[in-house]
Structure 1
Amino acid sequence: MPKFNVRRAALVGSLAGVLSACETAPERDPAALTLAVPAQWREAASVQEPVAGWLAGFGDEQLNALIRVGLAENFDLLSAAARVDAAREQAVIAGSGRWPQLSFVPGYQRGDADGRQSVESGAFSALFSASWELDVWGRIKAAQTGQEREADATGADYAAARLSLAAAIAQTYFEWLEAQWQAEVAAQSVKDRRVIVDLIRGRFNRGLTRGLDLRLALTDLANAEAQSASALNGVQILAKRLQSLIARYPDGELAGRRALPETPQALAVGLPAELLTRRPDIAAAFRRLAAADARLESAQKALLPRVTLTGSGGTSTPALADIVDPRSAAWNLAAGLAQPLFTGDRLQADIRLNEARVRDAYQQYQSVALNAFREVEQALAAEARLRDQERALREAVEQTEASRKLAVYSYQQGLIEILTLLDSYRSTLNAQSAHLAVRRQLLTNRINLYLALGGPV
C-alpha cells in the first residue's frame, strides 16, 4: 500500500509539472503598479498633450546643428546602436532551433591496404546529416520571444540614449553660453575696479585719501582679475566638453557667442499614466519584464517531452564519377521522443531561477517608473521656484547697479568709506553673476523636464 501511494504521488507530481509547463507567459499591463498613480501631476497648472520636438522651442539654430551632429556621430551613441543590432541578431540565433539543421561533409581518404605501402587505395565520400526538433510545446519559440523582447528593450535603451545625449548637448551648450557671459561680466568688473583704483590713486596723490584705501582697492582689483581668469577657464572647459559630445577633437575652438535664450513659456506635460508608455527607459524596463516572462515559459516547457527527427546518409566510392550515382547512396531516417525524468533538480532550479528573475524585473520596472514620476514632479516644482528666483535677481541687478553709481558719487564727496564703495561693486558683480546662473538653471530645468517626460527631440 505505501508503494502505491508513492507511485501515485510521483504520477500526480509529474502531471502537475506537465500542466504547469503548458502555461504561457502572462499578458502584462504597463499600468499594473503597486503604487498609486494620480490622475494629474501635482505641480502642473494645466494638462495638455506634450509638444513634439521640444528642441525647436528654444529657437537656436546653432544648438539644433550641434545636436544633429551629436546624434549622428557621438561614439557612445554609435556603440549603443551596435548593441541594438547585436541584440536583434541574438534573437535570430535563439530562434534558429525551430528550423531543420542540415550539414554536408564531402571528403577523400587515402591509405595502404596491407600496411606495407605496396597496395594503396582511396575513396571519395559525400555525407549529410539532418536534425529537427519539432517545437510542439513552443519551448524554443518562448526562448526566441524572450530574446526578441530583450532586443526591444535594447532598442528602447538606444532611444533613451539619444534623448539623453540631446539633452546633455543642450545643457552643456547653455552652460557654455552662460560661461561666456560670466566671463564678460568678470572682465567688465576688472575694468570697473581699475577705474576705482585710478580714482583712489589720484585722490591719494593729492592727499585726499589714505594709503589703506589704495591698498584695499588694489587687493579688490587683484581678486577681480583672478575671478576673470577663472571664468575664462570655465569657458574653455565647457567648449571642450561640448566638442567631445559631438565627436569633435576638443581643441576649444568653438565659434558662437550669443545671449541666453528665454525659457519657452508653453509647458505641456500630459498625464502621469501616459509616462509609462512614452518614456523610453520605462519601456525598456517593461520589455525586460516581458523577456523574463518568456524565459520562464521556456524553462517550464523544458519539462515536456521533446520530439526530434534525425536523418543521415551519403556515399563512399573509389571513383569520383560514382559519387553522384543515387544507387550507391545509403540513408536512414529516425524519429525520437525524449522525456526528462531525473536531472538532479536542474530543470526545476532553472524554473525557480527564472521566477526570481521575473520578480526582480517587475520590481525594477516599478523602480524605474517611480523614479520617472519623481523626476517630472521635481522639474515641475523647480520651474515655478526658479522663475520667482529669476525675477528677484533681476530686481537685485537693477538695484545694485543703481547703488554702485550712488556709492561712487558718495565716496567722491567723502560721505562713505572705501569698504562701502568696494562692497557695492562686489554686490553688483554677484547679482549679475547670480542672475545669469539662474537664467541658465531655468533652461537646464526645462530640458530636465523634457527629458523626464520622454518627448522626442
Structure 2
Amino acid sequence: MRLFNSIGLVAVSLALSGCASLNLNSGTADGTIRADLVQSVTDIPEQWQTAQSTVGDVQVGWIDALNDPVLSGLVKEAQSNNRNLQVAAANVERSWTLARQAGVALRPNVGVSLGGNRQAFLDGPVPDTSQFDWGIQASWEADIWGRIRAGQKAAVASAQSVEADYRFTQYSIAAAVANAYFIAIEASLQTDVARKTLETLSDTDRIVNVQYDEGIAMAQDVALSASDVSSTQASLITARGSYRDAINALQVLIGRYPSGDLETRTSLPDVPQMPPTGLPSELLERRPDIIATERNVAASFYALDQVKVANLPRLTLTANTGALASRFEDIFDPVNILVNIAGSITAPLFDGGLNNAQIAQAKAEQKQAVAAYAQTVLTAFQEVETSLNQTRVLRDREEALRQSAKHANRALDIVRIRYNEGETDLIDVLNIQQRVFTAESNLVSAERARLDEWINLNLALGGSW
C-alpha cells in the first residue's frame, strides 16, 4: 500500500504542471501589438493612387498566365534545386525546432536511474558487499509570471517570421528565374538584330568596293562602310556573349552547372493583362515580407514580457522516489522505497543592474522592430505605386519605339533608292542604317522591360506565382 501511495504522490506532483491557474500573467495582448503596428504606419489610402490600377482580388498563378511551359518548368526546378532557397528552408526548420525547445520548460522533466555496484577486498576479513538502487526524479518550474510562456511565444513568432521570409524568397526566386529567362531571350533577339544588320551592311560594303574598283565610289565611302561593318561585328560578338552569360545565370538560379547550354523560346511572350491590384490595406495581410516583419514585432513584445519578469521569484517543484538494497530482488520491496517531495522559491537579490539593462535592450529592440515594420510597409506601397506607374510608361514607350523602328525602316528604303539613283551619298545610307539598328534593338529591350515590370507588379502585390 505504501508503494501505491508513494507513486500517487509523485503523480500528483507531476500533474501540477497542467494547472493553468498558476500562469497569472498572460503577457502582452495581441490587440496591444496590433495597435502599435497601426500607429506606426502612415495613413493608408482606400485605393492605389495610380489610375492604372485594376479593381479585384490579387490572383495567384502569374507564371502560368505567361503561357510558357518552358518557363513553368524552370521555375519548378528552381523551387526544388535553388541553393539559396534550400538554405532558407533549413532556416525555417531550425526556427521551429528552437520554438519547440522554448516550450519544453512548461512541462516537467522526468528521469529514471538504475544502478548497482559490488565492493570486494582481495585479502582481508571484511566480507564482500553489494548495493543496488533505482530512482525516478521529476522537476518542474511553475510558470507563475508567464516568463517561460512568453519565451515560447517569442520563439514561435520568430519561427513564423522566418517561415514568411522563406515564402517571400520562393516568390522572389520565381520572379528572378522569369527575369533571367527573358534576359536570355532578349539577348538571343539582339543577336538576330545584329546579325541581320551585319548581313545588310556586308552587302552594302561589297557594292561599295565594286563601285570603288570601277571608279564610282570614293576611298572615303569604302572606309565608312568597312567601319560600320566592323562596328556591327562588335555588337554581334557582344550580343552572343550576353546570351551565354544570361543562360549561365539562369542555370545557376535553377540549381544547374553554368554550362551555357539551355534551350529557350525564340521570342518573348506577350505581356498579359494587368493583374487586379486589390486594396492597399490588404497588402499588409498578403505580402510575406510584411508578415515577416509583423511577426518580428510580436516576438519583440513577447521577449520584453520575458525579461520584465525575469527577476521575480521562481517556484520549482521536485519529486523523487527510489530504493536502495543490498540484494537486487529487494530494491522493489516497499520497505526500502523512499519518496521525497520538495518545493523551492528562488529570487535574485543583486544582479548588478543586469536585468534593468536587459529590459532596456528589449525595449530598444522592440522600437527597432516596429520601425522596421513601418519601413517595410512604406517600401511595399512604393513598389506597387512605382510598378503601376511604370506599367503605363513602358507600354507607351514600347509603342513609340515600335513607330520609331517602322519609320526608320521606311526611311532606309527611301535612302537606298536615292543612293542607287545617285541622289544622295553613302554616308546618309549608313547613318539611317544605324538608326534602324538602334531602333530595333531598343524595341526588343522595351518588350522585355514590359514583361519584367509585369512580373515586378505581381511580386509587389504579394501574388503567388
TM-score by structure 2 length?
0.89
Q: In structure 1, what is the equivalent of residue 28 of structure 2?
A: 25
Shift of 1:23: 7.1
Greater CA deviation, 43-52 or 346-355?
43-52
Shift of 1:427: 0.8
Residues 354 and 113 of structure 1, relative CA distance in 2, 3 Å threshold? farther
Deviations 1:259-280 (A, max 9, x none): 1112112331111111111100
- Counterpart Cα distance in 2 of 1:137 and 1:196: 89
**Is structure 2 residue 286 aligned with structure 1 residue 278?**
yes
Q: In structure 2, what is the equivalent of residue 97 of structure 1?
A: 105
Q: In structure 1, what is the equivalent of residue 297 of structure 2?
A: 289
What is the letter of the counterpart of residue 43 of structure 1? Answer: T
Contact 1:113 / 1:121 at 8 angstroms: preserved in 2? no
**Residue aligned with 2:319, SS:** strand
State how 1:277-356 maps to structure 2 within 5 Å.
277-356=285-364
**Is structure 2 residue 158 aligned with structure 1 residue 155?**
no
- Counterpart Cα distance in 2 of 1:296 and 1:310: 29
Residues 218 and 357 of structure 1, relative CA distance in 2, 3 Å threshold? same
Greater CA deviation, 370-379 or 70-79?
70-79
Q: In structure 2, what is the equivalent of residue 36 of structure 1?
A: 43
Shift of 1:126: 2.5
What is the letter of the counterpart of residue 125 of structure 1? Answer: D
Deviations 1:203-244 (A, max 9, x none): 111110012211221121111111101101111111111111
Q: In structure 2, what is the equivalent of residue 427 of structure 1?
A: 435
**Is structure 2 residue 56 aligned with structure 1 residue 53?**
no
**Is structure 2 residue 186 aligned with structure 1 residue 178?**
yes
- Counterpart Cα distance in 1 of 2:227 and 2:331: 100
What is the letter of the counterpart of residue 450 of structure 1? Answer: N
Greater CA deviation, 442-451 or 67-76?
67-76
- Counterpart Cα distance in 2 of 1:44 and 1:103: 67
- Counterpart Cα distance in 1 of 2:445 and 2:244: 17
Shift of 1:416: 2.0
Shift of 1:52: 2.3
- Counterpart Cα distance in 2 of 1:421 and 1:121: 114
Q: In structure 2, what is the equivalent of residue 69 of structure 1?
A: 77
- Counterpart Cα distance in 1 of 2:125 and 2:352: 53
Q: In structure 2, what is the equivalent of residue 201 of structure 1?
A: 209
Contact 2:290 / 2:377 at 8 angstroms: preserved in 1? yes
Shift of 1:115: 9.9
Shift of 1:121: 4.1
Shift of 1:38: 1.6
Contact 2:274 / 2:454 at 8 angstroms: preserved in 1? no
Contact 1:88 / 1:148 at 8 angstroms: preserved in 2? yes
What is the letter of the counterpart of residue 305 of structure 1? Answer: P
Deviations 1:241-267 (A, max 9, x none): 111111112111111332111211233
Shift of 1:370: 0.8
Q: Tell me the matched-pair count.
A: 437
Contact 1:22 / 1:301 at 8 angstroms: preserved in 2? no
- Counterpart Cα distance in 2 of 1:117 and 1:128: 36
Residues 211 and 92 of structure 1, relative CA distance in 2, 3 Å threshold? same
- Counterpart Cα distance in 1 of 2:455 and 2:124: 86
For structure 2, which runs of at least 5 residues remain unmatched after alignment?
A: 1-23
**Is structure 2 residue 333 aligned with structure 1 residue 358?**
no
Deviations 1:140-163 (A, max 9, x none): 111101100101101100110000
Residues 117 and 278 of structure 1, relative CA distance in 2, 3 Å threshold? farther
Q: In structure 1, what is the equivalent of residue 147 of structure 2?
A: 139
Q: In structure 1, what is the equivalent of residue 235 of structure 2?
A: 227
Shift of 1:117: 11
**Residue aligned with 1:102, SS:** strand
**Is structure 2 residue 134 aligned with structure 1 residue 126?**
yes
Contact 1:44 / 1:269 at 8 angstroms: preserved in 2? no
Shift of 1:110: 4.5
Shift of 1:106: 2.8
Deviations 1:166-219 (A, max 9, x none): 000111111111111011111111111111111111111111001221122112
**Residue aligned with 1:330, SS:** strand
**Residue aligned with 2:40, SS:** coil
**Is structure 2 residue 431 aligned with structure 1 residue 446?**
no
Residues 115 and 248 of structure 1, relative CA distance in 2, 3 Å threshold? farther
What is the letter of the counterpart of residue 230 of structure 2? Answer: A
Shift of 1:385: 1.0
Q: What is the CA RMSD across the aligned residues, in angstroms?
A: 2.0
- Counterpart Cα distance in 1 of 2:285 and 2:112: 48
What is the letter of the counterpart of residue 285 of structure 2? Answer: T
Contact 2:160 / 2:292 at 8 angstroms: preserved in 1? yes
Greater CA deviation, 278-287 or 347-356?
347-356
Shift of 1:111: 4.3
**Residue aligned with 2:257, SS:** coil
**Residue aligned with 1:25, SS:** coil
Residues 40 and 198 of structure 1, relative CA distance in 2, 3 Å threshold? same
Shift of 1:86: 1.1
Shift of 1:417: 2.1
Shift of 1:330: 2.5
Greater CA deviation, 58-67 or 90-99?
58-67
State how 1:249-260 maps to structure 2 within 5 Å.
249-260=257-268
**Residue aligned with 1:343, SS:** coil
